[in-house]
Amino acid sequence: MYVCICNGITEKQIRSAVAGGANSLQLLRDELGVASQCGSCTDHALSLLEDAPAQAPMPSSLFYSAASPA
Per-position pLDDT tens, the chain of length 70: 999 999 999 999 999 999 999 999 999 999 999 999 999 999 999 999 999 876 555 555 666 666 656 5
Burial profile 36-58: b = 16 or more Cβ within 10 angstroms, e = fewer: beeeebbebbeebbeeeeeeeee
CB neighbours of 37 closer than 8 A, spacing ≥ 6?
4, 6, 7
CA distances (Å), origin 63, targets 25, 46, 56, 59, 60? 28, 31, 16, 8, 6
pTM of the model: 0.74
